[in-house]
Structure 1
Amino acid sequence: MATDVRPRDPSIQPPMVPLATLIGREIRGGKSQKPSIKYGHAGFAKRGEDYFLLRPVCFRAPGDPASLFSVFAIFDGHNGASAAVFAKEHLLDHVMSTIPQGIGREEWLEALPRALVAGFVKADTEFQRKGETSGTTATLVVIDGWTVTVASVGDSRCILDSLDGVVSLLTVDHRLEENVEERERVTASGGEVGRLNLCGGKEIGPLRCWPGGLCLSRSIGDTDVGEFIVPIPHVKQVKLSAAGGRLIIASDGIWDALPSELAAKACRGLPAELAAKLVVKEALRKSGLKDDTTCLVVDIIPPDCTFVQPSILKQQNKFRSLLFGKKSKNGAGKPTKLSSVGAVEELFEEGSAMLEERLGKNISSMENSGNQRCAICQADQVQDDDQLVHSSDSFPATSRPWEGPYLCHDCRRKKDAMEGKRPRKSTMSR
């Protein structure tokens, strides 16, 4: 990688640039603007419930090299591995099935955040039909050129370490102990949040959702916990500069042991495969093997470059520290927000658990021959007054009119259940 990296004035805030403009620059720049992807993975199993997905070569249009994109994912199962295995095998297909065929790259990237929401919900619905009580976190990363889109439920995490040394968090942890908004949503939807109550009234451990005792507010699966534990992901889409960057995607076995900035710092300047091993080694050194521990490192590298050599990076960091001083961190040692020196452009971020807000209102659900296609499960249904969601009386009067795209009967019931608008099925405690 070129070594004449000049520090920039951090007081200069780069203007936000529309996605279409950014993509246009890539197209006009030709093949020289296309980054390469290098990746590595490492991990140790304690329960055997962590799974990961590596798909460095995918195509939006079969056989068209210009439509190349890459996918990487972590699935951290609980109460068994079946939900994690199911998500690994089916989640990506469900996401891709909701994106219209034959559209250009700009439209594809704009449709991707909504498709991720629909795909996560579809995967959850299909898995729950199996009648198993397992659940899983899911952090799915889609890389198309310099654009990175991350969707996540649970507490697996994805961070971005950019060339300027700023660590950015691309996911939100859905832990009831730490996420006040999620606690309020769960209780408003009919769940109860509290700690494990022992004999004598003593409460121990982290905050959990009851029934079931799950520590997370969002996951795929978990049939026995109530449908207010939702599969609707937080989605963030960013565009890197031509300098590239490094993604670290890992299960909570890593993040319970290492703050995000320490994980990034521990492996800077190393190739991706070795970096992943070093992050895992550092996590185990800090806390031992208390949980399944899995790490993926993905480098998005400018053309004709390799990873940054450690000695070079140290010189750059020392030079920056002399000019700008040390970078600020909050008291918890969490990563800062997106870089203020122009390394990253934030294109999209949304974490609402309301489907109406996530699927949008400007989606045509009408197909040829008068059919309706469900925005989630993609099932075609012949238009019929008894099936129209606006006129159906299968839902309680307290449910306000649905203003989003067409949902079939089952998916509409799923939506209402997640919002606490119908009685949940009886559940059993875990």
Structure 2
Amino acid sequence: MATVNSCMFSISHATSQCSVKGEDVLLTKSFDKGDIYVICDGHLGVDAANFVRDHIVEEMLSRWPSQLPNWRNRAEVESHAAALQKAVCEAFAQTEIQWLARRHIAGTTLTVVLISGNLVTSANVGDSAAVIDSGETILELTDSHRIQTHTQEKARLEASQCHIAQLGFHLEGPAKPRDPGIGPLRVWPGGLCVSRSIGDLLSGSEIVPLPHIKQVLLPEQGSRIILASDGLWDVLHHRKAVLLVRPLPTSEAASALLSCSAAAGAHKRLINDDTTIIVIDIMPSASSPHTRTSLTKVSTGTELQNPLSQDSPQESSAQSCWMSCFSSTALPEVISSRQASSRKASISSSVNVSSVFQKDLVVLADVDCLEAFPDIRAMVQQASWGLHSQEDLGPSCKLDFALPLPETMLSLGPPHSFTPHGSEVSTSSTLSALRDTKPHCSDNATVMYKDMRAQYSEKVGTMGGVDSYISGTEVKPVLGVADSASSYDKVR
């Protein structure tokens, strides 16, 4: 597919994916105003992730500023960027409202990268991260909302009287005070280990869908962006991931990262998580028209699409331009999202503020939508009022089957009977059900939970945020990638 980038950039991307639980989804889309890249990592199944993938782009495009700026006019670009911030935040919020209206308990992370002209906009809730490499600087474009590592988000939840604790030793809900726990800190009920997401109805109204947004201006030599779910970042540091694939062209970088992720996970004796990777190269275009090429690879290594052959002069030219960014022998500094926010003024003071094109990345904005757009927060609260209360989810439904799951999956309603760990749980207690919308009411609730039981009975699954292996009537705890202490090697 050939398109024209008004800032003389050629954009190519490659994807690679390995599915273990089947809860990661991705989307790439080019349109007349730019390119959109999306990764969702689902919780409690893939339903929320699929819904978000199918709706978020439409919500963003319907709010996109009607006219593009003159990309060589800094003032126009900044005005356009500010309008885009609110458009993206509203799109996240509206997607949340539409999903909650379905009364479904599943949730998902959401990370979006938008490229329009020489402006890159990244927005995220959850822990699917994106990093940009200019050759001079490696910059985190996202802010991880893991409660374990984000002190501000942890403090926000605690100030709202949220119950934060590790998983209990017997996988029966949160660890009691002074009792040993397993894995990272989580918010209860639900056991979610991130403070922001789309959906996750059980975790309460303080789990918000409002993203952190970062916007940067691309340098004249272009940049590379790596966008991935936590299956990659839990085993590879941002800096290591970037440097590992620097010598590789777009078409090979994504699959190489997937292989490195699998090897690193095996070396650390970690259970593989779903891993989804998008590598985006934004390079000076050698000629016009400027091409966007797409190469998709899955874990089998099968090439699904390759518009340009290896001998194509367009691809060779673009790759040589990208590699020329790294002629310097000095290794770039890694700047985290929170460091970039505090250093924004000093970074901006070193550039010509009237010029759009610079020698390195320029951080244009670093915005927490929860603070910047209180009106959107109020809109979400009003639309979801009552849904997060377990008593108000809907009419009572009976579960008339034995459910061999940890207590976290039975925290959907009033107190219930729970037999000792390792034996089968039997309940006929009433649960607050998901009313009103199909297929979540009355007898259909039984069907839904039977489907969930079948879905997770013979594979690794996420139950209330807990990685478990369910076999017969026995629940065997397994420390997944996110539960390993060594996985929290975060950039500071």
Report the TM-score, using the length of structure 1 for normalisation. 0.69
Task: Name the SS of the counterpart of 1:283 in structure 2.
Answer: helix
After superposition, what is the alpha-carbon deviation per residue over 1:128-184, rounded to whole angstroms, capped at 9, x for unaligned? 1111111111110110111100000000000001132x2100100000000011111
Q: Does 1:45 align with 2:27?
A: no
Which residue does the alignment assign to 1:137? 109
Q: Does 1:146 align with 2:146?
A: no
Identity, % of aligned pairs? 31
**1:32 Cα deviation (Å)?**
7.2
1:358 is aligned, of 370, 373, 391, to: 373
Structure 1 pair 146–51 and aligned structure 2 pair: CA distance change class (3 A)? same
1:255 is aligned, of 208, 229, 233, to: 233
1:343 is aligned, of 339, 349, 360, to: 360
Task: Name the SS of the counterpart of 1:33 in structure 2.
Answer: coil
1:172 is aligned, of 118, 129, 143, to: 143
Structure 1 pair 185–251 and aligned structure 2 pair: CA distance change class (3 A)? same
Task: Name the SS of the counterpart of 2:216 in structure 1.
Answer: strand
Equivalent AA in structure 2 for residue 91 of structure 1 = I
Which residue does the alignment assign to 1:26? none
1:184 is aligned, of 133, 148, 155, to: 155
CA distance in 2, matches of 1:272, 1:51: 20
1:125 is aligned, of 97, 113, 118, to: 97
CA distance in 2, matches of 1:83, 1:246: 29
**1:426 Cα deviation (Å)?**
1.7
1:79 is aligned, of 26, 39, 44, to: 44
1:294 is aligned, of 265, 276, 291, to: 276
Which residue does the alignment assign to 1:413? 382
**1:104 Cα deviation (Å)?**
5.0
**Structure 1 segments unaligned to the other structure (5+ residues):** 1-29, 60-67, 361-374, 377-401
Q: Is the 8 A contact 1:154 1:173 kept in 2?
A: yes
Q: Is the 8 A contact 1:261 1:335 kept in 2?
A: no
**1:414 Cα deviation (Å)?**
4.2
Q: Is the 8 A contact 1:190 1:228 kept in 2?
A: no
Q: Is the 8 A contact 2:6 2:117 kept in 1?
A: no
After superposition, what is the alpha-carbon deviation per residue over 1:252-272, rounded to whole angstroms, capped at 9, x for unaligned? 000001000110011113221
CA distance in 2, matches of 1:308, 1:353: 42
1:306 is aligned, of 318, 326, 347, to: 318
RMSD across aligned positions (CA): 3.0
Q: Is the 8 A contact 1:270 1:308 kept in 2?
A: no
Equivalent AA in structure 2 for residue 92 of structure 1 = V
**1:109 Cα deviation (Å)?**
3.3
Q: Is the 8 A contact 2:283 2:322 kept in 1?
A: no
Alignment length (residue pairs): 329
Task: Name the SS of the counterpart of 2:153 in structure 1.
Answer: helix
**1:310 Cα deviation (Å)?**
9.6
Relative to structure 2, which stretch is displaced further, 183-192 or 149-158? 183-192
CA distance in 2, matches of 1:352, 1:301: 30
Which residue does the alignment assign to 2:167? 196
